[in-house]
Amino acid sequence: MPPLSDADKATFTRLLNSAMYILAQRDHSCYELQQKLQLAEQRRARGEQRDPELYSAELLQAVTDYCLENGWLNEQRFIELFIKGRSRKGYGPQRIKQELMLKGISRQLADEAMAESDIDWQQEACQIAERKFGLPLPTRWPEKAKVMRYLQSRGFYSEDIQSVFTNFDA
């Protein structure tokens, strides 16, 4: 971390306090934490009826680096918990991967984490379809199409969706 001026030290301390508060709620990605720190300043400024201070990228990076060094911020842990949490809510791998990238996680890191997860996406798709549409699953095309569209909208791959009906028919 480069040497900071007195004003930057005070801002760094304020940002660090905000980061600790944010990270105490749940895990975040580095990008997401930086966005929330900027947003927190905008809200604070609006409450105090003043113009918001725009933090430099270097200062925000210094705060995230400090949090990473102290173990408060861990992107790998964030990714694992995010995948588990979103899959429990009934979302498929495509949607989860897209949401990870929106939170600043690289495609490569997201792909690796999805491959390492022990989630059986075909089984998840079956459970979601059963929960939403009940058993037995539809056998006529219009109703099947409705199930397929639903699972597709939840972010499941077409192979996983097809397996729902293949495993059901067997």
Predicted local distance difference test score (pLDDT) of residue 6: 64
Contacts 24+ apart (CB under 8 A), 61-64: 61/34, 62/1, 62/2, 62/4, 62/12, 63/12, 63/15, 63/16, 63/19, 63/33, 63/34, 63/37, 64/19, 64/30, 64/33, 64/34
- Could you tell me the domains of the chain? 6-73 (1.10.10.10), 76-116 (1.10.10), 121-169 (1.10.10.10)
Binning pLDDT at 50, 70 and 90, where does residue 98 land? very high
Predicted local distance difference test score (pLDDT) of residue 136: 85
The 10s digit of each residue's pLDDT in 22-46 is 999 999 999 999 999 999 888 888 8
pTM for the structure as a whole: 0.84
